[in-house]
Amino acid sequence: MQFGSMALEAIALQMVPGLGLRGVVHLLEHFGNAHEVFAASLDALILKAELRPDLAKEIQRRTTFAAAERELAYCAQHGIRVIASSDPDYPARLLETPDYPAVLYMQGDPSILSQKTLAMVGTRRATPYGEEQCKRLVQELSERVNNLVIVSGLAFGIDAASHRAALACHLPTIAVIANPLPNVTPAFHRSLARTILDLGGAIITEQHSQAKLRGTHYLSRNRIIAGLSAGTIVVESPARGGSLNTANHADSYNRTVMAVPGRPTDATSLGTNQLIRSHKAQLITSGADIVEELMWDFAEEPMRFSPKASSAEDLSSEEARVLGFFPPNDPIEGEALQQLAGIEAGELTALLIGLELSGKIRLLPGNRYMKLCD
């Protein structure tokens, strides 16, 4: 695994105790990159950068370099790419935010970070309506926009539905997680994460392996989702929730915030409806609305994605074979289905995504799937 020339210094700066995210960004903005921060004199750190003397001395002592070297070894062992904010692969859109991470840890294709990125987020307790909106909007966008990448947080509900919708439309998708790689949270979505990587997407985090996991990391993760994206769509949200936090970050970055309206009586639409009512989000009902809000021109050569027809004849042979293992009227667990089909979990996930998007099956709580009537 190759690392950028600034990776070691950037990780070491990220690990300086007491410096904090804002302090790291302040120093990077003042000196240009982590190498120059550590090369600066004590006077420059204190007088010019206005750093507290104890923090300046901590930087001068370079006490975090041993831990940074261990982190690089860990990343090399697990196939994790380290991207410092001064590296050319670092996403330019994220660098425009005032609280960008000094380091990104990622698996997958870094080239998609520079494509047209759109965040889709929402409640973990998604309804069939919300999941259907994800599918429909992503499908319509795939027909109109080239080089589109869907960004979300790999959580249950709308996040997972957004990732699956992108994969079904042959679009790469980026999952931003709140824990160190190579693990993902929730663990239930390991197969989905593998499929994201297998189909040209990426998994990203700012958390290094030596970080203490905290619940606040999920809120911190939300700013990266918003910062990576040209715009953020909230599909479903209750009156309070992490997706509203993501929308607030997007708004603070002067990025377009959009929301899908819901029925006034639906608890899962209270947050989205309030975003629209308070003029914090633009009401969108179609892919064309999104293109207009983001001022994206229609693709000169549309991808002409066609959704799978619902007839069994139009399923691939592998999809039809997997569908044959479903009981007619009862749900089946994913593990049982994998044993019956005799295929790898990642391959099965990709096939189930196709079956779900074609309207043949439905994902139920507890990693169970139900065959739908023809």
pLDDT tens sequence across 94-129: 999 999 999 999 999 999 999 999 999 999 999 999
Q: Look at residue 207 and tell me whether its pLDDT is greater than 90.
A: yes
How far apart are alpha carbons 276 and 281 in whole angstroms? Answer: 5
Q: Where are any strands of DSSP class E within 68-200?
A: 81-84, 103-108, 116-121, 148-152, 173-176
pLDDT higher for 102 or 310?
102
Mean pLDDT to the nearest integer, 24-36:
94
Q: Look at residue 306 and tell me whether its pLDDT is greater than 50.
A: no
When pLDDT is cut at 50, 70 and 90, the band that residue 37 belongs to is very high
Q: Look at residue 305 and tell me whether its pLDDT is greater than 70.
A: no
CB 125 within 8 A of CB 157: yes
Mean pLDDT to the nearest integer, 227-252:
95
Instruction: Report the mean per-residue pLDDT for the chain.
Output: 89
% of the chain residues with pLDDT over 70: 93
When pLDDT is cut at 50, 70 and 90, the band that residue 255 belongs to is very high
Q: What pLDDT, on a 0 to 100 scale, did the predictor assign at position 51?
A: 94
Q: What pLDDT, on a 0 to 100 scale, did the predictor assign at position 183?
A: 94
Q: What pLDDT, on a 0 to 100 scale, did the predictor assign at position 304?
A: 40
Q: What pLDDT, on a 0 to 100 scale, did the predictor assign at position 159?
A: 96
Mean pLDDT to the nearest integer, 165-180:
95
Q: What pLDDT, on a 0 to 100 scale, did the predictor assign at position 312?
A: 54
Q: Where are any strands of DSSP class E within the chain?
A: 81-84, 103-108, 116-121, 148-152, 173-176, 202-205, 231-234, 256-259, 282-283, 332-333, 361-364, 368-371
Domains of the chain with CATH codes = 7-78 (1.10.150), 110-294 (3.40.50.450), 312-371 (1.10.10.10)
When pLDDT is cut at 50, 70 and 90, the band that residue 368 belongs to is confident
When pLDDT is cut at 50, 70 and 90, the band that residue 344 belongs to is confident
CB 134 within 8 A of CB 120: yes
When pLDDT is cut at 50, 70 and 90, the band that residue 308 belongs to is very low
Q: What pLDDT, on a 0 to 100 scale, did the predictor assign at position 81?
A: 96
Using alpha carbons, select from 117, 130, 161 the residue that is nearest to residue 290: 117
Q: Look at residue 241 and tell me whether its pLDDT is greater than 70.
A: yes
Q: Which of 140-154, 208-222, 284-298, 314-328 has the highest mean pLDDT?
A: 140-154
CB 62 within 8 A of CB 37: no
Mean pLDDT to the nearest integer, 68-92:
95
User: What are the phi and psi torsion angles at 361 (to 5°)?
Assistant: -135, 170
Q: Look at residue 177 and tell me whether its pLDDT is greater than 80.
A: yes
**To the nearest 10°, the Cα dihedral for 244, 260, 167, 216?**
10
Predicted TM-score (pTM) of the model is 0.81
Mean pLDDT to the nearest integer, 338-367:
81
Q: Look at residue 333 and tell me whether its pLDDT is greater than 90.
A: no
Q: What pLDDT, on a 0 to 100 scale, did the predictor assign at position 313?
A: 55
